[in-house]
Chains A and B, each alone.
Chain A
Amino acid sequence: MNTASASRAERSPAIPASRRVVDAPTRVVHWLLALSFIGAYLSGDSERWRLLHVSLGYTILGLVVHRVLWGLIGPRHTRLSAWAAKLRGTPDFLRSLRSGKPNPSAAQNLLNTLFAILILGFALIASISGYAVYEELGGDWLEELHELSSDGMLVMVLGHLLLIVTSSLLRRQNLAARMFSGRLPGRGPDLIKRNHGALAALILAVVLGFWFVQLLAPA
Chain B
Amino acid sequence: MTRKSLFKHLPTTLFVASTSLAAVVHAAAPTELLAGYSGQAQAPSSATRGQQFFTGTHGGDWSCSSCHGAVPTGGGKHASTGKPITALAPAVNPERFTDPAKVEKWFRRNCKDVLTRECTAAEKADVLAWLLSLKP
Q: Which residues of A contact B (CB under 8 A)?
A: 42-43, 45-51, 54, 134, 140, 144, 147-148, 151, 154-155, 219
Interface residues, chain B, with chain A CB atoms under 8 Å away: 1-4, 6, 9-10, 13, 16-17, 20, 62, 67, 78-83, 99, 101-102, 109-110, 112-113
Shortest CB distance A151–B (Å): 5
B106 — nearest CB in chain A belongs to which residue? Answer: A47
Q: A140-B102, A154-B6 known; A47 and B13 CB under 8 Å?
A: no
Asked if A48 meets B13 with Cβ closer than 8 Å, knowing A42-B3, A154-B6, the reply is no
User: What separation, in Å, do the CA atoms of A51 and B83 have in the docked complex?
Assistant: 10
Interface centre among A48, A54, A154 (most CB of B within 10 A): A48
Contact of A46 with B6 in the complex, beta carbons under 8 Å: no
Shortest Cβ distance from residue A121 to the other chain B in the assembled complex, whole angstroms = 18
- Whether A46 contacts B17 by the Cβ 8 Å rule is no
Chain B residue with minimal CB distance to A139? B20
Chain A neighbourhood of B6, CB < 8 A = 151, 154-155
Asked if A49 meets B3 with Cβ closer than 8 Å, knowing A140-B20, A144-B17, the reply is no
- Which A residues lie within 8 Å of B82 (CB)? 219
Residues of B within 8 A of A144 (CB): 13, 16-17
A-B pairs with lowest CB-CB distance, top 3: A47-B113, A51-B80, A50-B80
Cα of A155 to Cα of B10 in the assembled complex, Å: 13
Write out the residue numbers on chain A whose beta carbons fall within 8 Å of the beta carbon of B112: 45-46
Partner of A47, one of B2, B3, B110: B110
